[in-house]
Amino acid sequence: MNDRIETRLRRQRRHAIDPALRARVLAAAGSVEPARVGPLERLWSSSALRWAVLTAVALLWVGDRWSTTLSPNISISHGTMTCEARELGQSMELDDSERRWLERRLGLHALGTGRGRRDAPLSM
Amino acid sequence: MDREPGDDRRDRRSLRRLADGDRDALTELFDAHAERLFGHALWLTRRRAEAEDAVQTVFVKLAERGGELLRVRRPEAYLHRMLRSTIVDDARRRERRPEEALDDAELLVADSADAEALAEAKGLERALAALPAEQREAVGLHLFEGHSFGEIGRLLEVSRFTVASRYRLAIARLRRTVEGDR
């Protein structure tokens, strides 16, 4: 019975659009002032540029991750800082003045474990 | 009338040109979408004049949009969503809901002046007009506009299962209404 009502509906036609609507709509739309598109908006809307920026960001991130693994690991506990150069497999104990110098040099503030900047010196 | 795979790309180009101020692009978009938008509006409003007003509002809004048009990924869905929100806003302004019953629905055209065909069209039109708007929309877009449930789901941003459910409920309700009239 469901099929029957669908068949009956399929035999019907809906009202078609009035051909005069086209001219009316285009005249009405033609009289409005479009919003201005900013140069940055236009630039960003270019998919080539968007892909280029996203690819560059992805490459920078991957590069940063890769180089960070080669940089020294710094850990601070009970006032003693251990600096381990992974690629050399060495570590050293630092006294307070060396630790403060290294903290300033690396921009480390919080106690705990941090990861050194890539330009940190490996030798003291 | 069926959409081709490259149509979205063509429409995105037209939207981009429209954002750049090319009014010919608006004509192209009208020719590509107006008939279906009108059909969609008719199933929601049930009245030709209101459906035409909604289509006009959509294209006027489109002409005003500017930079937003550069970010549209699926133009057809964008237009239909704009149409739907236009109709809902309009109904709200008139303080009535789209599904509120109207005596003078204008949905179907009888193919002949034969009294039986006219009565059949009028009976089905009355039954369709009495459906909740979302169910009538699902029937109209599927049976009359030729969209699959998946396509309707993408246009309305609901799942195809939701569309299928609305359609099935509508058909069951239509059957009861039409049988009750006999």
Over residues B82-94, mean pLDDT: 89
Please give the Cα distance from A122 to B142 (Å, whole number): 71
| Residue range(s) occupied by CATH 1.10.10.10 in chain B | 112-182
Q: Which CATH class is domain B112-182?
A: mainly alpha
Q: Provide the pLDDT confidence category of residue B60 given band limits of 50, 70 and 90.
A: very high
Over residues B61-90, mean pLDDT: 90
Cβ-defined contact of A34 to B55 (cutoff 8 Å): no
Tokens matching residue A3: 């099929």
| Minimal CA separation from B170 to chain A, in Å | 10
Q: Provide the pLDDT confidence category of residue A124 given band limits of 50, 70 and 90.
A: very low
**pLDDT given at position B150:** 94
**pLDDT given at position A49:** 75
Is A5 part of the contact surface with chain B (CB cutoff 8 Å)?
A: yes
Lowest mean pLDDT among A35-39, A102-106, B7-11: A102-106
What mean pLDDT is reported for chain A? 69
**Whether pLDDT at B135 is above 90:** yes
Cβ-defined contact of A34 to B66 (cutoff 8 Å): yes
Are B63 and A30 in contact by the 8 Å Cβ rule? The answer is: yes
| Minimal CA separation from A7 to chain B, in Å | 10
| Residue range(s) occupied by CATH 1.10.1740 in chain B | 1-98
Instruction: Please give the ipTM for the structure prediction.
Output: 0.81
Looking at 1.10.1740, 2.60.40, 2.40.50, 2.40.160, the CATH number of the domain B1-98 comes to 1.10.1740
**Whether pLDDT at B83 is above 90:** yes
**Whether pLDDT at B148 is above 70:** yes
Are A113 and A76 in contact by the 8 Å Cβ rule? The answer is: yes
Q: Which of A48, A106, A91, A21 is nearest to B53 (CA)?
A: A21
Cβ-defined contact of B171 to A6 (cutoff 8 Å): yes
Please give the Cα distance from B2 to B76 (Å, whole number): 12
**pLDDT given at position B172:** 94
What mean pLDDT is reported for chain B? 88
| Minimal CA separation from B167 to chain A, in Å | 11
Q: Provide the pLDDT confidence category of residue A112 given band limits of 50, 70 and 90.
A: very low
Q: Could you tell me how many CB contacts below 8 A there are between chain A and chain B? A: 123
Cβ-defined contact of B20 to A37 (cutoff 8 Å): yes
Host H or E run for residue A85: strand A80-85
Of chain B residues 64-93, which have a CB less than 8 A from chain A? 64-68, 70-71
Q: Provide the pLDDT confidence category of residue A32 given band limits of 50, 70 and 90.
A: confident
Is B130 part of the contact surface with chain A (CB cutoff 8 Å)?
A: no
pLDDT digits (tens, 9 = 90+) for B150-165: 999 999 999 999 999 9
Are B34 and A22 in contact by the 8 Å Cβ rule? The answer is: yes
pLDDT digits (tens, 9 = 90+) for B23-37: 899 999 999 999 999
Higher-scoring residue by pLDDT: B181, B154 = B154
| B33 CB-near residues (< 8 Å, 6+ apart) | B11, B76, B79
Over residues A100-105, mean pLDDT: 72
* Nearest by CB: B38 against A17, A28, A45: A17
Over residues A28-43, mean pLDDT: 77
